[in-house]
Amino acid sequence: MAPAFSKAEYNNRIDRVRVAMQTRDIEVLVIGDPSNMNWLTGFDSWSFYTPQMMVLDLVNGPFLMTRLMDAKAASFTTYLPDSQIIGYPEHMVQQPDMHPSDHVAGWLRDAGYGTATIGYESDSYYFSPRSLHVLQAGLPDAKWVDADLLVNWVRAIKSDAELAFMYQAAQIADIAMQVAWDGAKVGVRQCDLMADITAAQIKGTAEFGGDMPALHPLILAGEAATAAHPMWTDAKLEAGQTIAFELGACRKRYNVGLARTVHLGAVKPAALIDTAKAVEDGMDAVMSSLRADAVAGDVHAAWQNVLDRYGLEKKSRIGYSIGVAYAPDWGEHTISFRPAEPTIVPENAVVHIILGMWMDGWGMELSETLHVREKDCVRLSAFPQHVHVVS
């Protein structure tokens, strides 16, 4: 195994992060999000269930701090030399009177960071309050500043190499969605169909395989279709159900999303016909307005104008930036498409526009992962957008 990208690619990313650090007067950055660790070094391991961090200063690093038994994964998934891979002792795992951050704090002191201005990720799923408190107690003379999403915002602009993997992920997503369409039949258990979809996501194509997506595929059938993120059950699909599939795929940790809708019955209800037409028109309006330097709130307004014509309402945001991610979320937590959002969308951002309509007793979804270009945007998926009818 080897890192997914060239050393020059990773060096460029580190340089960009250091520029962002300097603009905020941060001397040392403590990174707790495994997505950001992967983006900076290629580190890829299911090791984030125990504390782990990455440290980067303006000259040295990155240094990976992880459980000793997981440190070996860094030797074959990253470019880091052994001197930049620090495994903390096994006896520190899940103890009431000590914490891996004690070990990290000692390393930081020994490295000369005892009085540095240290940034940390305050809203990462994986960097606990205890981790921060132990670090701060171990370096009381350091200045601690909130640097949440600093790396994430740098990640928002994708390189050509990153885009190549995301287009590959979209090919896998199309295959998985075809499995969903072909397998959605009256009497099929949700869990059996989900098993086939998941297998397709992992198997990938003849040329390349897939990784486990950061968001597990979702099936919204029956009463569950009135909610956004229900889990599958062993219930059988029923005649007359409108079923939304929110799938996607992952390639070298790069995620794409894809949602489509199936109706089990020869005759589509009038409400489904009208809503599907509004959603398809809305997607056209979004794509027509989305390009480099577009304002995210203006893109949402294009969608809202369509909803207003149809007399429909959607209270949730309609999209977000997407890319490198681990469970439980494939979004980058940066760009959001919602009313009055002032964020300027950069060229070569990749965003997931998901137009989910959760109605009274039923629901539907249509989504696209879009590559934002200078003058337009393009779909990564080639999958049909219409509601698929199974008669």
Residue 1: its pLDDT value, please? 76
Residues 83-111 as b/e (b if ≥16 CB within 10 A, e otherwise) read ebbbbbeeebeeeeeebbbbbbbebbeee
Cβ neighbourhood burial of 19 (10 Å; 0-12, 13-18, 19+): exposed
Whether 149 and 334 have beta carbons less than 8 Å apart is answered as yes
pLDDT digits (tens, 9 = 90+) for 333-380: 999 999 999 999 999 999 999 998 988 888 899 999 999 999 999 999
Residue 229: what residue type? Answer: H
pLDDT on residue 391: 85
Residue 373's pLDDT is 98
Residue 94 is which amino acid?
Q
- Six-digit token string for 380: 């990564």
Calpha distance 356→354 (Å, rounded): 6
Q: What is the secondary structure of 350-371 as a DSSP string?
A: EEEEEEEEE-SS-EEEEEEEEE
H helices, E strands: number in the chain: 10, 17
* CA–CA separation, 275 and 352 (whole Å): 20
| Strand bridging mode 377-379 / 363-372 | antiparallel
Q: What pLDDT is recorded for position 267?
A: 80
Q: Are 339 and 269 in contact (CB under 8 A)?
A: no
Q: 328: cis peptide before it, omega within 30°?
A: yes
- Give pLDDT tens digits for 93-103: 999 999 999 99
112 phi, psi to nearest 5 deg: 95, 20
Residue 77 burial (CB count, 10 A)? 18
Contact 85, 71 (CB under 8 A): yes
Determine the pLDDT at residue 2: 83
User: Could you tell me the mean pLDDT of each successive run of 10 residues in the chain, 391 residues long?
Assistant: 93 98 98 98 94 97 95 95 94 91 97 98 95 97 98 98 98 98 97 98 98 95 78 94 96 98 91 95 98 98 97 94 97 98 98 92 93 98 96 85
Residues 6 or more apart in contact with residue 96 via CB below 8 angstroms: none
Q: What pLDDT does residue 23 have? A: 98
Closest to 85 (Cα-Cα) out of 53, 132, 58: 53
> pLDDT at position 362, please?
86
How confident is the model at residue 67, as a pLDDT?
A: 94
Where in the chain does DSSP place strands (E)? 28-31, 53-57, 63-67, 85-88, 117-120, 143-146, 218-220, 242-246, 249-251, 254-256, 259-264, 319-322, 331-337, 350-358, 363-372, 377-379, 388-390
Q: What is the pLDDT of residue 121?
A: 98
